[in-house]
Chain A
Amino acid sequence: DQQVKQNSPSLSVQEGRISILNCDYTNSMFDYFLWYKKYPAEGPTFLISISSIKDKNEDGRFTVFLNKSAKHLSLHIVPSQPGDSAVYFCERSQGNLIFGKGTKLSVKP
């Protein structure tokens, strides 16, 4: 049972435009969702999180939206930059920690 789903394995966006990465979940019990960014040959690094009691969290170019009724969250990157090209993972935090399979974002100059 895949509790955290990232259904798009890849996404390609033009520099300066918006990137939207999506994550769906099945279990309504969680404290936080977190987003991580991973470059090749490096460990993931934390990007932004959202608490279960909020519906939006913003940090600079990055905004995460949470829709609890749809069990869906999304990460918006505006404007996208070539350095944003990486694999993005969403993680559910409640007890042990469950990751989605990741979405590879390519931002083209």
Chain B
Amino acid sequence: NAGVTQTPKFQVLKTGQSMTLQCAQDMNHEYMSWYRQDPGMGLRLIHYSVGAGITDQGEVPNGYNVSRSTTEDFPLRLLSAAPSQTSVYFCASSSTSGGNEQFFGPGTRLTVL
């Protein structure tokens, strides 16, 4: 099992550009989520999904879109990148939304100039 994979590892964007951060898991987990980590701010939930076709907003959803067309994939889209979106992004999955541990990907370091 590869676990949770994220691509790319690093990305530099210019303000206003769009891009998609990819996330995939091969553990057949229903629950997937996206977090951003900023210095002194911990891990903040952006969007999450409890199953294919179901997504919901987390703590900091503005500027990001998600979709969940399959159990395996949960891409995060930045429609018009802003410098405030410079961060490290982590994708995670778990078998249920309560109680079970989340498995995290290695992260994507995004810089918006």
Contacts and interface: CB of A to CB of B under 8 A. Distances in A.
Contacts of A31: 98-99
B106 A101 contact: no
Given A49-B101, A93-B98, A93-B99, A42 B43 contact: no
Contact of B102 (A9, A95, A97): A97
B104 A89 contact: no
B45 interface: yes
Interface residues of B, number: 25
4 A-B pairs with least C-beta separation? A43-B104, A101-B42, A46-B101, A99-B43
B12 interface: no
Given A42-B107, A43-B107, A44-B104, A94 B98 contact: yes
Nearest to A101: B42
Given A100-B42, A102-B42, A95 B97 contact: yes
B45 A97 contact: yes
Contacts of B51: none
B45 A101 contact: no
A45 B104 contact: yes
Contacts of B25: none
B43 A89 contact: yes
Contact of A44 (B41, B43, B44): B43
B48 interface: yes
A11 interface: no
Contacts of B99: 31-32, 49, 51, 93
A89 to B, nearest CB: 6
